[in-house]
Amino acid sequence: MSTSSSESDSETEAMNLEKVPVWDLPDVPQGQLPPHIELQRTRVLCTYLAPTNTEKIKYGCAFGSMGVDNSLRSDQFRKNFRVEIMRLNEDEIEFDMVGIDAAVANAFRRILIAEVPTMAIEKVLIANNTSIVQDEVLSHRLGLIPLKVDPRLFEYLSENDVPNEKNTIVFRLHVRCEKAKQQRISVKSEDLKWLPNGSEFQLATEKSVSSSASKPKTYTSFSCSQESLPEFANTPISLQHHDITIARLGPGQELN
Protein backbone atom coordinates (compact mmCIF):
# COMPACT_ATOMS: atom_id res chain seq x y z
CA MET A 1 0.00 0.00 0.00
CA SER A 2 2.84 2.42 0.75
CA THR A 3 4.35 1.87 -2.70
CA SER A 4 1.15 2.57 -4.58
CA SER A 5 0.51 5.64 -2.43
CA SER A 6 3.93 7.14 -3.24
CA GLU A 7 3.42 6.45 -6.94
CA SER A 8 0.07 8.25 -6.92
CA ASP A 9 1.59 11.22 -5.10
CA SER A 10 4.32 11.48 -7.76
CA GLU A 11 1.74 11.41 -10.53
CA THR A 12 -0.25 14.16 -8.78
CA GLU A 13 2.85 16.35 -8.45
CA ALA A 14 3.69 15.80 -12.12
CA MET A 15 0.18 16.83 -13.15
CA ASN A 16 0.39 19.95 -10.99
CA LEU A 17 3.72 20.90 -12.62
CA GLU A 18 2.20 20.57 -16.06
CA LYS A 19 -0.50 23.09 -15.10
CA VAL A 20 1.99 25.78 -14.03
CA PRO A 21 1.86 28.68 -16.52
CA VAL A 22 5.07 29.66 -18.28
CA TRP A 23 5.06 33.12 -16.72
CA ASP A 24 5.02 31.54 -13.27
CA LEU A 25 8.22 29.53 -13.87
CA PRO A 26 11.41 30.84 -12.20
CA ASP A 27 13.54 33.16 -14.29
CA VAL A 28 16.70 31.89 -15.97
CA PRO A 29 19.72 33.00 -13.91
CA GLN A 30 21.31 36.05 -15.53
CA GLY A 31 25.05 36.24 -16.14
CA GLN A 32 25.66 32.49 -16.15
CA LEU A 33 24.93 29.52 -18.36
CA PRO A 34 23.50 26.16 -17.37
CA PRO A 35 26.29 23.67 -16.62
CA HIS A 36 25.75 21.57 -19.74
CA ILE A 37 25.84 24.61 -22.04
CA GLU A 38 28.89 26.05 -20.27
CA LEU A 39 30.62 22.68 -20.74
CA GLN A 40 29.77 22.71 -24.43
CA ARG A 41 31.01 26.29 -24.81
CA THR A 42 34.33 25.95 -22.99
CA ARG A 43 35.41 22.31 -23.26
CA VAL A 44 36.39 19.88 -26.00
CA LEU A 45 35.55 16.36 -24.85
CA CYS A 46 37.63 13.40 -26.07
CA THR A 47 35.12 10.56 -26.04
CA TYR A 48 35.69 6.96 -27.06
CA LEU A 49 34.02 7.60 -30.42
CA ALA A 50 35.41 11.01 -31.42
CA PRO A 51 36.16 14.46 -30.01
CA THR A 52 33.03 16.53 -29.38
CA ASN A 53 32.37 20.26 -29.03
CA THR A 54 35.18 21.02 -31.47
CA GLU A 55 33.23 23.81 -33.20
CA LYS A 56 32.95 27.10 -31.34
CA ILE A 57 29.69 29.01 -31.06
CA LYS A 58 30.95 32.08 -32.91
CA TYR A 59 27.98 34.44 -32.56
CA GLY A 60 28.76 36.96 -29.82
CA CYS A 61 25.11 37.42 -28.79
CA ALA A 62 24.23 33.73 -28.82
CA PHE A 63 23.59 33.80 -25.05
CA GLY A 64 22.46 37.41 -24.81
CA SER A 65 19.10 36.42 -23.30
CA MET A 66 21.00 34.97 -20.32
CA GLY A 67 23.21 38.00 -19.92
CA VAL A 68 26.35 36.20 -21.12
CA ASP A 69 28.66 37.92 -23.61
CA ASN A 70 30.06 35.30 -26.00
CA SER A 71 32.20 37.69 -28.05
CA LEU A 72 35.97 37.30 -28.22
CA ARG A 73 37.75 40.08 -26.35
CA SER A 74 41.51 40.43 -26.37
CA ASP A 75 41.72 41.55 -22.73
CA GLN A 76 39.62 38.61 -21.57
CA PHE A 77 41.68 36.25 -23.72
CA ARG A 78 44.95 37.47 -22.21
CA LYS A 79 43.50 37.05 -18.73
CA ASN A 80 42.33 33.46 -19.20
CA PHE A 81 44.94 32.09 -21.61
CA ARG A 82 48.02 30.34 -20.26
CA VAL A 83 50.63 27.85 -21.49
CA GLU A 84 51.72 25.02 -19.21
CA ILE A 85 54.96 23.21 -20.10
CA MET A 86 54.45 19.51 -19.42
CA ARG A 87 57.73 18.11 -20.74
CA LEU A 88 60.84 19.73 -22.18
CA ASN A 89 64.01 17.98 -23.27
CA GLU A 90 66.59 18.16 -26.05
CA ASP A 91 64.35 16.43 -28.59
CA GLU A 92 60.82 17.64 -27.91
CA ILE A 93 58.53 19.94 -25.96
CA GLU A 94 55.02 19.10 -24.77
CA PHE A 95 52.75 21.89 -23.57
CA ASP A 96 49.09 22.55 -22.85
CA MET A 97 47.28 25.67 -24.04
CA VAL A 98 44.55 26.44 -21.51
CA GLY A 99 41.74 28.92 -22.06
CA ILE A 100 41.83 28.90 -25.84
CA ASP A 101 39.34 27.89 -28.49
CA ALA A 102 40.03 24.67 -30.38
CA ALA A 103 40.07 26.50 -33.73
CA VAL A 104 42.65 29.01 -32.48
CA ALA A 105 44.76 26.20 -31.01
CA ASN A 106 44.67 24.47 -34.39
CA ALA A 107 45.80 27.72 -36.01
CA PHE A 108 48.81 27.77 -33.67
CA ARG A 109 49.56 24.18 -34.66
CA ARG A 110 49.54 25.05 -38.35
CA ILE A 111 51.73 28.10 -37.73
CA LEU A 112 54.28 25.96 -35.89
CA ILE A 113 54.39 23.47 -38.76
CA ALA A 114 54.77 26.18 -41.41
CA GLU A 115 56.96 28.78 -39.69
CA VAL A 116 59.31 26.96 -37.31
CA PRO A 117 62.59 26.56 -39.25
CA THR A 118 63.66 22.97 -39.73
CA MET A 119 66.43 21.27 -41.69
CA ALA A 120 66.18 17.84 -43.25
CA ILE A 121 67.59 15.84 -46.14
CA GLU A 122 65.63 17.04 -49.18
CA LYS A 123 67.57 15.95 -52.27
CA VAL A 124 69.14 12.50 -52.60
CA LEU A 125 71.58 11.75 -55.42
CA ILE A 126 71.95 8.00 -55.89
CA ALA A 127 75.03 6.67 -57.68
CA ASN A 128 74.48 3.00 -56.88
CA ASN A 129 71.73 1.13 -55.08
CA THR A 130 71.66 -2.63 -55.39
CA SER A 131 69.70 -3.21 -52.17
CA ILE A 132 66.08 -4.34 -52.07
CA VAL A 133 65.01 -0.86 -50.92
CA GLN A 134 63.71 1.24 -53.82
CA ASP A 135 65.31 4.61 -54.48
CA GLU A 136 62.11 6.48 -53.54
CA VAL A 137 61.72 4.60 -50.25
CA LEU A 138 65.39 5.13 -49.43
CA SER A 139 65.10 8.86 -50.09
CA HIS A 140 62.01 9.09 -47.88
CA ARG A 141 63.78 7.29 -45.03
CA LEU A 142 66.76 9.62 -45.26
CA GLY A 143 64.47 12.64 -45.15
CA LEU A 144 63.00 11.48 -41.83
CA ILE A 145 66.35 11.23 -40.03
CA PRO A 146 66.64 14.19 -37.60
CA LEU A 147 69.75 16.33 -37.98
CA LYS A 148 71.58 17.88 -35.06
CA VAL A 149 72.02 21.40 -36.39
CA ASP A 150 70.70 24.86 -35.55
CA PRO A 151 68.68 26.22 -38.51
CA ARG A 152 69.30 29.78 -37.30
CA LEU A 153 72.93 29.45 -38.41
CA PHE A 154 71.89 29.03 -42.04
CA GLU A 155 70.31 31.19 -44.71
CA TYR A 156 67.04 30.26 -46.37
CA LEU A 157 67.55 28.49 -49.71
CA SER A 158 65.13 29.83 -52.30
CA GLU A 159 64.37 28.28 -55.66
CA ASN A 160 66.95 30.30 -57.62
CA ASP A 161 69.76 30.23 -55.04
CA VAL A 162 72.93 28.23 -55.56
CA PRO A 163 73.64 25.68 -52.79
CA ASN A 164 76.61 26.94 -50.79
CA GLU A 165 78.15 26.61 -47.35
CA LYS A 166 75.63 29.09 -45.89
CA ASN A 167 72.41 27.35 -46.94
CA THR A 168 73.20 23.67 -47.53
CA ILE A 169 74.43 20.60 -45.65
CA VAL A 170 75.80 17.59 -47.51
CA PHE A 171 76.02 14.03 -46.23
CA ARG A 172 77.40 10.95 -47.93
CA LEU A 173 76.20 7.39 -47.42
CA HIS A 174 78.43 4.66 -48.83
CA VAL A 175 78.10 1.15 -47.43
CA ARG A 176 78.96 -2.14 -49.11
CA CYS A 177 78.40 -5.68 -47.90
CA GLU A 178 81.26 -7.85 -49.07
CA LYS A 179 80.45 -11.21 -50.60
CA ALA A 180 82.95 -12.95 -48.36
CA LYS A 181 80.95 -12.07 -45.24
CA GLN A 182 78.04 -14.34 -46.17
CA GLN A 183 75.73 -12.44 -43.84
CA ARG A 184 73.53 -9.38 -44.00
CA ILE A 185 74.56 -6.07 -42.47
CA SER A 186 72.49 -3.12 -41.27
CA VAL A 187 72.95 0.37 -42.68
CA LYS A 188 72.57 2.78 -39.77
CA SER A 189 72.22 6.53 -39.60
CA GLU A 190 75.72 6.65 -38.15
CA ASP A 191 76.98 5.67 -41.62
CA LEU A 192 75.96 9.11 -42.91
CA LYS A 193 79.15 11.17 -43.10
CA TRP A 194 79.11 14.95 -43.11
CA LEU A 195 80.93 16.51 -46.08
CA PRO A 196 81.98 20.01 -44.95
CA ASN A 197 83.41 20.78 -48.41
CA GLY A 198 80.13 20.12 -50.19
CA SER A 199 79.00 17.56 -52.72
CA GLU A 200 81.46 15.19 -54.36
CA PHE A 201 79.11 14.37 -57.24
CA GLN A 202 80.08 15.99 -60.52
CA LEU A 203 77.32 17.64 -62.53
CA ALA A 204 76.17 15.52 -65.43
CA THR A 205 76.47 18.46 -67.85
CA GLU A 206 80.08 19.04 -66.82
CA LYS A 207 81.35 15.49 -67.28
CA SER A 208 81.75 15.85 -71.05
CA VAL A 209 83.30 19.34 -71.07
CA SER A 210 85.49 19.25 -67.96
CA SER A 211 89.24 19.17 -68.38
CA SER A 212 92.04 18.26 -66.05
CA ALA A 213 93.06 21.92 -65.74
CA SER A 214 89.68 23.20 -64.55
CA LYS A 215 88.01 22.17 -61.34
CA PRO A 216 84.89 20.09 -62.10
CA LYS A 217 81.60 21.58 -60.98
CA THR A 218 79.55 19.68 -58.44
CA TYR A 219 75.98 19.99 -57.21
CA THR A 220 77.08 22.52 -54.59
CA SER A 221 79.30 25.59 -54.79
CA PHE A 222 81.13 25.82 -51.48
CA SER A 223 83.67 28.64 -51.36
CA CYS A 224 85.16 27.27 -48.15
CA SER A 225 84.85 24.35 -45.80
CA GLN A 226 82.05 24.52 -43.26
CA GLU A 227 84.55 23.38 -40.64
CA SER A 228 86.32 26.73 -40.99
CA LEU A 229 83.17 28.72 -40.20
CA PRO A 230 83.12 30.02 -36.59
CA GLU A 231 79.49 28.98 -36.00
CA PHE A 232 80.44 25.32 -36.44
CA ALA A 233 83.72 25.42 -34.54
CA ASN A 234 82.17 24.33 -31.23
CA THR A 235 79.04 22.62 -32.58
CA PRO A 236 79.89 20.43 -35.58
CA ILE A 237 77.07 19.19 -37.76
CA SER A 238 75.95 15.65 -36.92
CA LEU A 239 72.89 13.45 -36.51
CA GLN A 240 70.54 13.48 -33.56
CA HIS A 241 70.34 9.68 -33.39
CA HIS A 242 73.01 7.30 -34.66
CA ASP A 243 71.18 3.99 -34.36
CA ILE A 244 68.35 4.44 -36.89
CA THR A 245 68.21 1.55 -39.35
CA ILE A 246 68.07 2.74 -42.96
CA ALA A 247 68.37 -0.55 -44.87
CA ARG A 248 69.71 -4.09 -44.77
CA LEU A 249 72.34 -5.22 -47.26
CA GLY A 250 73.02 -8.75 -48.39
CA PRO A 251 76.38 -10.06 -49.65
CA GLY A 252 77.47 -8.08 -52.70
CA GLN A 253 74.91 -5.29 -52.27
CA GLU A 254 75.93 -1.64 -52.07
CA LEU A 255 74.49 1.78 -51.26
CA ASN A 256 76.17 4.94 -52.49
Q: Which residues contact 83 (CB under 8 A, 6 or more apart)?
A: 95, 96, 97, 98
Strands 147-148 and 238-239 come out as antiparallel
Q: Class of 135-255 per CATH? A: mainly beta
pLDDT score, position 188: 95
Q: Can you tell me the distance from the alpha carbon of 73 to that of 89, in angstroms, rounded to the nearest whole number?
A: 34
Q: Can you tell me the distance from the alpha carbon of 55 to that of 72, in angstroms, rounded to the nearest whole number?
A: 15
pLDDT score, position 28: 65
In tens digits, what is the pLDDT along the chain, a chain of 256 residues? 445 555 556 566 555 556 767 677 666 667 788 888 888 878 888 888 888 887 777 777 777 777 777 777 888 888 889 999 999 998 889 999 988 888 888 899 999 999 888 889 999 999 999 999 999 999 999 999 999 998 888 988 888 888 989 999 999 999 999 888 778 999 999 999 999 998 888 877 655 555 555 667 888 888 888 888 888 877 788 999 999 999 999 999 999 9
pLDDT score, position 131: 93
Question: Biggest alpha carbon distance in the chain?
Answer: 116
pLDDT score, position 219: 84
Count of beta carbons in the 10 Å neighbourhood of residue 234 = 6
The segment(s) of the chain belonging to CATH 2.170.120.12 are 135-255
Which residues are 85's β-sheet partners? Answer: 95
pLDDT score, position 248: 93
